[in-house]
Amino acid sequence: MANEFLNPVVISKELLLRWENNTVMAKFVNRQFDDDFATPGYKIGYTYNARIPWRPKGRRGDGIKPENIVETVVPIVVNQLWGGGDLEISDQDLTMTIDRVGERYLEGCAARLANMMDGDLCDLYGDVYNLAGIPGTLPADLTTYTDAGVALDDSATPPDSMRSVVITPRMQAAALGFRNNLFNDQKTISEQYLTGKMGTAVGLKWSMDQNIARQTIGTLSPSGTSNPTVNGANQSGSTLSTTGWTSGATLNANDIIAVVGMDSVNPLSWRDTGTYRTFTVTALATANGGGVMAIPVSPDINYDATSSFQTVLNAPPNGAQILVYNVPYTQFSNISAISSAQALAFHKEAFALVVVPLELPGGLDWSERVTDPKTGMSARLTRGFDIAGNKRYTRFETLGGVKTVRPEFACRIAAN
């Protein structure tokens, strides 16, 4: 291939291509909000309020029964300037072929940018309150993943082809050995063997991501020394009062709890799912000297059968046991203070990635912006001359943000 003098458009397009090859989570999340930002003549600023569809309770019979329409919005904030790597590319290097520049410079920049975006998306696990799996335990078969699918079904997640599961390298290696794979067609088995990837199984598109977040669980009481329970009847809202903890016991932000005897409801049929409602802890909670702990939770505890925001079938029973990651107090020592991978099974509508085209500054050697119509990814490449250092500095960056839009459409998968 003959040498060609590389221009910023060529370099930017190559960077976007290599970004696509390196990204995982960003391929499976909602990208529809890009056009709502930085629209010429109508710039909305750094925040866009995404509307969540209203969920009516419905009625039976001839009599009309008007329901109050309460709109729910989720603010999506553009607050990240991701820079894949600032470069020094000499004029001599710019005479090289795109392959050599890609190998020496662009691959690393694109990989770093993709990893930063994927990492920010994986870090949204704390918003997700559905749970499958056991902390510290590698799934031994497909049951854990089908449990995640059940949790999505119970949350009225659309049963379409937009469901994905993103797991750790170790989880993927274990999944490839599941005997259940023998029930897949021969072509799928062959592809799994040749590529080391699961492909599509049990209604989920499988991918591995090295950026899967880890959660350090709070310091729990040793087995048998405490029995945390609900402290008071008819509790509702975003805080649950509990008692029976050992003094100083903690639940960390993003831990998961449940109450024995308090089931979730399907937000479409409003029927009992037969499964305890799990909650994410939204801030550090610590037991006082009397063993009382106020736990801030999400979603809110709402057992009002007339409300379109109902989350549970009934109020938390006074004296009911508290489970942590679905583990009873007799087994708390097995999970206390351990670090657990938090893989994610989710529908495309659960999370959003927004990328906004950056304005182009003037007075530079280069000032170019390229947008890939296939992925919606937009990047700006600028270069300026440093007269003091006699060097040319190049910036490759993109502006955007990530947000959990529909947490009920996702499920954590706790593992080791």
CB atoms < 10 A from the CB of 404, how many?
A: 20
> Are residues 245 and 323 located together in one domain of the fold?
yes
Q: What is the pLDDT of residues 107-153, one digit of tens each?
A: 788 888 889 999 999 999 999 999 999 999 999 999 999 999 999 99
pTM of the predicted protein model: 0.87
pLDDT of 229 = 97
Domain end call among 303, 337, 371:
337
Look up the CATH number of the domain holding residue 330: 2.40.30.290
Residue 65 lies in a domain: no
Residue 369 binned pLDDT confidence (cut-offs 50, 70, 90): confident
Name residue 369's beta-bridge partners. Answer: 380
**How many C-alpha atoms does 49 have within 13 Å on its Cβ side?**
4
> Are residues 308 and 374 located together in one domain of the fold?
no
Q: d(Cα 334, Cα 353) in Å, to the nearest integer?
A: 36
Q: Does the structure show a pLDDT above 90 at 181?
A: no
Residue 1 lies in a domain: no
Residue 298 lies in a domain: yes
Q: What is the pLDDT of residues 191-217, one digit of tens each?
A: 544 444 568 889 999 999 999 999 999
Q: What is the pLDDT of residues 273-305, one digit of tens each?
A: 999 999 999 999 999 999 999 999 999 999 999
> Are residues 46 and 141 located together in one domain of the fold?
yes
> Are residues 292 and 397 located together in one domain of the fold?
no
Q: Does the structure show a pLDDT above 60 at 106?
A: yes
> Are residues 315 and 359 located together in one domain of the fold?
no
> Are residues 197 and 90 located together in one domain of the fold?
yes
| CB crowding 7-24: b at 16 or more within 10 Å, else e | ebeebbbbbbbbbbebbb
CB atoms < 10 A from the CB of 208, how many?
A: 20
Q: φ and ψ at 183, to 5 degrees? A: -85, -5
pLDDT of 198 = 66
Residue in this structure with the two tokens 């529908």, named with its chain if needed: 347
Q: Do the beta carbons of residue 131 and residue 154 sit within 8 Å?
A: no
Radius of gyration, alpha carbons of the chain: 25
Residue 89 lies in a domain: yes
State the DSSP H helix or E strand holding residue 368, giving kind and residue range, or none if neither: strand 366-371
Residue 66 lies in a domain: no
Q: Does the structure show a pLDDT above 60 at 367?
A: yes
Higher pLDDT, 204 or 45: 204
> Are residues 293 and 388 located together in one domain of the fold?
no
Average pLDDT over all residues of the chain: 87
> Are residues 193 and 206 located together in one domain of the fold?
yes
pLDDT of 93 = 66
Q: What is the pLDDT of residues 146-164, one digit of tens each?
A: 999 999 999 999 999 999 9
Look up the CATH number of the domain holding residue 52: 3.90.1690
> Are residues 284 and 362 located together in one domain of the fold?
no
> Are residues 400 and 311 located together in one domain of the fold?
no
- Determine the straight-line distance between the first and last CA of the chain, rounded to whole angstroms: 48
Across residues 234-247, what is the average pLDDT?
97
Q: Which residue range forms the structural domain that includes residue 134?
A: 7-59+71-216+339-416
Mean pLDDT lowest for which of 230-239, 284-293, 331-340, 366-375?
366-375
Q: Does the structure show a pLDDT above 90 at 335?
A: yes
pLDDT of 128 = 98
Residue 285 lies in a domain: yes
CA angle 253/53/305 to nearest 5° reads 75
pLDDT of 370 = 85
Residue in this structure with the two tokens 């305890």, named with its chain if needed: 276
Exposed, middle or buried: residue 195 (CB in 10 Å: 0-12, 13-18, 19+)? exposed
Name the 3-class secondary structure at 369.
Answer: strand
Domain end call among 314, 337, 360:
337
Residue 239 binned pLDDT confidence (cut-offs 50, 70, 90): very high
> Are residues 258 and 392 located together in one domain of the fold?
no
pLDDT of 12 = 79
pLDDT of 57 = 79
Q: For the chain, what is the domain count?
A: 2
Please report, rounded to a whole number, the percentage of residues in the chain having pLDDT higher than 90.
Answer: 56
Q: Do the beta carbons of residue 291 and residue 245 sit within 8 Å?
A: yes
Domain end call among 337, 368, 388:
337
Q: What is the 3-state secondary structure (H, E, C) of 6-38?
A: CCHHHHHHHHHHHHHHHCCHHHCCECCCHHHCC
Secondary structure (DSSP) of 292-336: -EEEEEEEEE---TT-TT--BSSPPPTTPBEEETTB-GGGGGGTT
Residue 64 lies in a domain: no
Closest alpha carbon to 45 in 78, 73, 15: 78
pLDDT of 63 = 86
Please report, rounded to a whole number, the percentage of residues in the chain having pLDDT higher than 70.
Answer: 88
> Are residues 191 and 101 located together in one domain of the fold?
yes
